[in-house]
């Protein structure tokens, strides 16, 4: 744990009845960084976020923001900006009034004119300056979340907390808005903690992604590293797709699909193990004397996903760039091999 971290969560614990929502979670976030917490429902990611916001009391642990211990500080004094999963705009206020609300509560620091200028600036930033006088019921879901984002940013928060803000939106709006969140976050340099169960969302916009399980952090790393070099079987299986393929492990390598590849740190070191192989790590080439048969092919646009039956009857999924998959239709004989990329291997059985 570095002492230079802007946000430090140290050994957070919280249980609800018998369920341990947080079980010794520690996490550092650097200033201006966007960290995403990813995990299945009930893994404790939202509890961690709410604890940092001050909306959730903890059993144990401490939280330090900008060198100050905020563990026992009230939520209304913490200066965190939060965007919620549910639509949370105040229904009796216009978009502008919503954005100005936090500033009004700091009336001694902001004059009316400054407030107006600030709300105009933020609505402009989220692309809704023409909707300033609209009430929430006159805005679509995506627009409401943009205003909520502007409202959270208006108070120049120490940390921006995003609690699955996109999950109620449809797919297209979700993609647009997540990119916008990233653009705004980088523009303003706001330290951000983003909670989501959508891995694509987390991997696409975060500087680092933390995968949580049972109230603990399994691994935290840059998106590419998390995907390519998972340190536990849970992370490998949770993030992206994997093919479980049985093979013999020895000397830091595993023998699978007729080839030998290196194993990642954390894998088992000897005996029979299950390699968790990414679909894009499998190379497929058409060959009349091939060792496998294409069972089915799905065209995904830029890439093509093939379900392949191996000679021993096992089935694996491979993903190729579409141009490489031409002619690989159901029933085609193919040769299957592995690209030389390290894989994570878990114990069999």
Partner 1 sequence: MKQSMGVRLWRWTIISVVALYLLVPLYAMFDFSTKPFGFADKGRTFRAWKMITEQPDLWPAISRSLITAAIVMALILFLIVPTAIWVHLKLPVLRRPFELLCLLPLAIPAIVIVVGIAPLYRWISINISESPITLAGVYSMLILPYTYRSLSAALDAVDIHTLAEAATTLGATITRVIFGIIMPTIKTGIVNGSFIAIALVLGEYTISNILNFKTFQVVIAQIGRTNGNVAVAVSLASLLFVIFLLLIIPTKKRQGTVLDVDVA
Residue 32, interface with partner 1 (CB under 8 A)? no
CB 230 within 8 A of CB 64: no
Q: Quick one: which of 325, 323, 305 has its CA closest to 315?
A: 305
Structural tokens at position 245: 């393929």
Residue 120, interface with partner 1 (CB under 8 A)? no
Radius of gyration of the chain (CA): 24
Q: Restricting to residues 176-205, name those near partner 1 by CB under 8 A.
A: 176, 180
* All residues at 6 or more sequence positions from 248 whose CB lies less than 8 Å from its CB, including other chains: 254, 255, 271, 272, 273
| Nearest distance, CB of residue 165 and partner 1, angstroms | 12
Structural tokens at position 105: 């509560």
Residue 39, interface with partner 1 (CB under 8 A)? no
Report the distance separating Cα 96 and Cα 15, nearest Å: 39
Among 173, 188, 268, 341, binds partner 1 (CB under 8 A): 173
Pairing label, strands 159-163, 191-196: parallel
Structural tokens at position 161: 């907390």
Window of 21-29, 33-41, 150-158, 316-324 that interacts with partner 1 by CB under 8 A: 150-158
Structural tokens at position 241: 């797709």
Structural tokens at position 200: 């694509």
Pairing label, strands 292-299, 333-338: antiparallel
Q: List the x/- string, 209-238, binding to partner 1 by CB under 8 A.
A: ------------------------------
Among 24, 32, 42, 127, binds partner 1 (CB under 8 A): 127
Among 14, 96, 115, 131, binds partner 1 (CB under 8 A): 131
| Nearest distance, CB of residue 18 and partner 1, angstroms | 19
Q: Which is nearer to partner 1, 55 or 246 (CB)?
A: 55
Alpha-carbon distances, residue 157 vs 71, 128, 192, 338 (angstroms): 17, 20, 10, 48
Structural tokens at position 294: 């294409």
Q: Which is nearer to partner 1, 152 or 245 (CB)?
A: 152
Residue 140, interface with partner 1 (CB under 8 A)? yes
| Nearest distance, CB of residue 90 and partner 1, angstroms | 6
Residue 290, interface with partner 1 (CB under 8 A)? no
Q: Which is nearer to partner 1, 79 or 230 (CB)?
A: 79
Q: Quick one: which of 56, 74, 125 has its CA closest to 95?
A: 125
Q: List the x/- string, 53-92, binding to partner 1 by CB under 8 A.
A: xxx-------------------xxxxxxxx-x-xxx-xxx
Q: Rounded to an integer, what is the distance from CA 296 to the centroid of its chain?
A: 30
Q: Which is nearer to partner 1, 86 or 300 (CB)?
A: 86
For residue 70, give the 3-state DSSP assignment.
coil
| Nearest distance, CB of residue 152 and partner 1, angstroms | 8
Q: Which residues bind partner 1 (CB under 8 A)?
A: 53-55, 75-82, 84, 86-88, 90-92, 101-102, 105-106, 127-128, 131, 134, 137-140, 142-143, 148, 151-152, 155, 161, 172-173, 176, 180
């Amino acid at each position: 744990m570095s002492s230079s971290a802007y946000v430090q969560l140290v050994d957070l614990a919280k249980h609800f009845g018998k369920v341990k929502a947080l079980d010794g979670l520690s996490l550092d976030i650097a200033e201006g960084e966007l960290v995403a917490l990813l995990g299945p429902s009930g893994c404790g990611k939202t509890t961690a976020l709410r604890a940092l916001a001050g909306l959730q009391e903890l059993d144990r642990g401490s939280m330090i923001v900008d060198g100050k211990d905020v563990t026992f500080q009230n939520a209304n004094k913490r200066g965190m900006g939060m965007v919620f999963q549910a639509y949370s705009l105040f229904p009796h206020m216009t978009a502008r009034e919503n954005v100005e609300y936090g500033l009004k509560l700091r009336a001694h620091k902001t004059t009316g004119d400054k407030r107006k200028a600030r709300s105009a600036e933020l609505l402009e930033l989220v692309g809704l300056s023409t909707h300033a006088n609209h009430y929430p019921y006159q805005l679509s879901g995506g627009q409401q979340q943009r205003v909520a984002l502007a409202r959270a940013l208006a108070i120049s928060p120490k940390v921006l907390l995003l609690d699955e803000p996109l999950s109620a939106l449809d797919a297209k709006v979700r993609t647009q808005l997540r990119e916008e969140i990233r653009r705004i976050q980088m523009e303003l340099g706001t330290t951000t903690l983003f909670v989501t169960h959508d891995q694509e969302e987390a991997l696409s916009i975060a500087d680092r992604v933390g995968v949580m399980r049972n109230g603990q952090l399994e691994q935290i790393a840059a998106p590419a590293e998390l995907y390519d070099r998972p340190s536990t079987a849970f992370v490998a299986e949770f993030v992206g797709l994997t093919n479980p393929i049985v093979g013999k492990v020895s000397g830091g390598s595993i023998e699978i699909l007729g080839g030998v590849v290196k194993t990642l740190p954390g894998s088992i070191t000897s005996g029979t193990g299950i390699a968790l192989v990414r679909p894009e790590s499998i190379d497929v080439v058409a060959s009349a004397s091939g060792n496998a048969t294409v069972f089915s092919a799905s065209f995904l646009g830029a890439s093509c996903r093939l379900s392949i039956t191996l000679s021993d009857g096992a089935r694996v999924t491979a993903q190729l760039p579409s141009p490489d998959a031409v002619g690989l239709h159901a029933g085609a004989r193919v040769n299957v091999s592995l690209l030389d990329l390290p894989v994570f291997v878990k114990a069999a059985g």
